[in-house]
Structure 1
């Protein structure tokens, strides 16, 4: 079989009985986290612009716009919710992808499920299908695709999202293979857009395009069975012509990718490449009482390729600050914490911050693999001290996951950021119930205080 046909066979045949209670709970945690981050992003300029764009498409219904009172057609809702859930860069990641899996799965899946009245149990198995496909493709091609400049959250994520949508809609293997080819026709996203509205657009587009691919295939639309592996196909254009069939041969093998690769929940609302540095830096700040005024310079050393996404060395906007090692370090030292308020334009433009940016130096060690990931933080103080901390295991990672209580606290903080009311504990319980509906999950939230 071609890679498209392999994905089709897997997605069509995947048995939800393979989902253990632990995996279902992981799905529920991911849905709560993604939704809460999407609500927190509702007032960002990119979200407002996406909402204004939806108004030009005309009225629609069927799926909720997260954190907003209105509804839209599933494709449009998936686009908006994907933008809002990615604009803060607070959504979860998985290491093999070098990107964000849930933000290109849940907006599409919840919109379709809400419109079609599909229960949470099927949503969970669809999420696992999409996650499985993403991780297998990522292990084969993500490093090369990322090096080429692709935003792999979108360019790989769209393939997994399309597979997830076809499973949700119970398409057969042939229809699913066509949907994969249609997804390839829409795959896009560049790292050059990091720090701008277009980065979150790329996540929103992947969600809408995945629904479009599944619905078109459902209607009989076709694509080439070789779209993934032909000489002019996905593997050649987005990677280095890797043998995707070999990577996909283990689709569905137990333990599943959700159990082995796992999810990493963000504690800080900025690029994940900074998080080990921030864990170490904030620990040193707390232990030694060091403030920005006490520090002469900071040196960061990391695992190979870890700093690649951090393209803004002298940021002036909040979005640019999310992709700046220099800003993350300066803000952590000045404020003693990193939160949603860290990433306003005004916060980034503070004179003390801007003056310190040249005194943060980061470098990655040579090597071919980003794994294992680590960061070494060295502080040089004005009184001649050198203090350092190495961080290997990251709090919130698959190795050290956040507790349910910590995850719910993050969700409630997200809601509070925009004056939203919801019961995160009740939402987590509903998201864990295979018989529940998306409407049940959303109905216990209020749009404004």
Structure 2
């Protein structure tokens, strides 16, 4: 036993056997299906193409830069593919860390697995272990870390991804601790980048950092053992100098975010099962999803049209509304962080798809008149304390309302297998030749049994149609 979180995490990563319960293997498998579905269209996004154009001449290697027609060194492949994974904001959320977890974990694991010749089961094992540490670090600095403007996908994500890569490389306890520590020196990213190309780049940078930190540790680089909770550790630098006061005066804890690094029971509960992932129904910021689900439910139940609506009132946690900073979005990226735009999509089309978040779609003239009808009512409570309430007022005086505590795709409202694969089909249509797409689908379905990951990555290595 140790009170030092780095040593506790390193020991757990090195010594925990890969005998996860069947539901954990299944959940990890579903996460890979979902993220590969999202990476494929993300690979042709301008931000991903620009990142690839920047790194493509920096060294060839064994790992596919998905959709780019090139093989790169593992860190650069992780950078490109991580950016693609987050480019559309269609990737999952993970509450303990308040981060997009799979977008950073899976690209790093896949790139390193190609380099190392690891199996599909090895990848799933590294994912489960890395997600646990990602969550434990997130619980140690959140909710304050994220509420104060750090993008946890970039910060906590880099550290959790280093843990996953340490697991895949089978580092010993000290090396794994060094890898996790080293990643704190690569952990950075501000929420002020939301609505720009740098926001998805954060996921790519975190994926790259995980590969780099674990690889350096394997080759003998050491690191400090007080970078999480020392006098100048992550908690005091990236939460704040009032860290201890905040920790000691917490009155409500959500998702295990108690501003303490768990060291006694690192692996219990297994966060993949106790908290689960939030797979996304819509390709925009998850903070809008409860409201969009609620409006969808009211539309389905009552069948009103957009031109009948006098007002839509949304009562939601202030932290959700703060993430949705664009009330009148000017382009597709800003539209992803707009409550008004997301709800306008539901009112006008009954859905919100990838096609709704292009620059052209975001500027549709018939959407803007709806924005003033959508009213925000921030509630100073955490999301677990207060469900998002949606009230629709029609011009004829009728009122309909609902409350949504959990979005579709969450542990409480999981996707069916049919919904998961329907999302895959919707994301990938027209981007790969039919035979290659079929090969990807087969490899994903068989991922736990793949002796090597190339069956999945090979058909993804060509240049996709844009």
Pairing of 1:5-16 with structure 2 (within 5 A): 5-16=7-18
CA contact (8 A) 2:182 2:223 kept: yes
**Distance in 1 between residues matched to 2:103 and 2:412, nearest whole Å:** 21
Equivalent position SS for 1:370: coil
Pairing of 1:102-113 with structure 2 (within 5 A): 102-113=102-113
State the partner residue of 2:397.
Answer: 384
State the partner residue of 2:146.
Answer: 146
**Distance in 2 between residues matched to 1:283 and 1:417, nearest whole Å:** 30
**Distance in 2 between residues matched to 1:139 and 1:246, nearest whole Å:** 7
Distance 1:227 1:393, change over 3 A: closer
State the partner residue of 1:261.
Answer: 275
State the partner residue of 2:63.
Answer: 63
**Distance in 1 between residues matched to 2:93 and 2:293, nearest whole Å:** 17
**TM (normalized to structure 2)?**
0.91
State the partner residue of 2:255.
Answer: none
- Structure 1, unmatched stretches of 5+, are none
CA contact (8 A) 1:303 1:371 kept: no
Shift of 1:245: 6.2
Deviations 1:276-307 (A, max 9, x none): 11111112223333222221221101245222
1:426 counterpart (438, 442, 451): 442
Shift of 1:444: 5.3
CA contact (8 A) 1:79 1:205 kept: yes
Deviations 1:41-100 (A, max 9, x none): 12211111111112242x412101223321111000000000001010000112222221
**Distance in 1 between residues matched to 2:111 and 2:398, nearest whole Å:** 55
Deviates more, 1:213-222 or 1:77-86: 213-222
**Distance in 1 between residues matched to 2:117 and 2:395, nearest whole Å:** 62
Answer yes or no: is 1:270 the counterpart of 2:272.
no
**TM (normalized to structure 1)?**
0.94
Answer yes or no: is 1:248 the counterpart of 2:263.
yes
Pairing of 1:347-366 with structure 2 (within 5 A): 347-366=361-380
Distance 1:420 1:43, change over 3 A: farther
Deviates more, 1:356-365 or 1:197-206: 356-365
**Distance in 1 between residues matched to 2:426 and 2:301, nearest whole Å:** 25
Aligned-pair Cα RMSD in Å = 1.9
Answer yes or no: is 1:413 the counterpart of 2:432.
no
CA contact (8 A) 1:133 1:248 kept: no
**Distance in 2 between residues matched to 1:351 and 1:373, nearest whole Å:** 34
Pairing of 1:22-421 with structure 2 (within 5 A): 22-57=23-58, 59-240=59-240, 241=243, 246-253=261-268, 255-303=269-317, 305-367=319-381, 369-372=382-385, 374-416=387-429, 418-419=431-432, 421=434
CA contact (8 A) 1:137 1:248 kept: no
**Distance in 2 between residues matched to 1:337 and 1:258, nearest whole Å:** 29
- Structure 2, unmatched stretches of 5+, are 248-258
CA contact (8 A) 1:175 1:218 kept: yes
**Distance in 2 between residues matched to 1:280 and 1:364, nearest whole Å:** 16
CA contact (8 A) 2:294 2:404 kept: yes
Answer yes or no: is 1:440 the counterpart of 2:421.
no
Distance 1:249 1:158, change over 3 A: farther
CA contact (8 A) 1:6 1:245 kept: no
Deviates more, 1:165-174 or 1:93-102: 93-102
Deviations 1:158-205 (A, max 9, x none): 111111111110111111121122101110011111111000111100
CA contact (8 A) 1:427 1:444 kept: no
CA contact (8 A) 2:137 2:261 kept: no
**Distance in 1 between residues matched to 2:16 and 2:385, nearest whole Å:** 31
Shift of 1:138: 1.9
Shift of 1:347: 1.0
- Count of aligned pairs between the two proteins: 444
Equivalent position SS for 1:302: strand
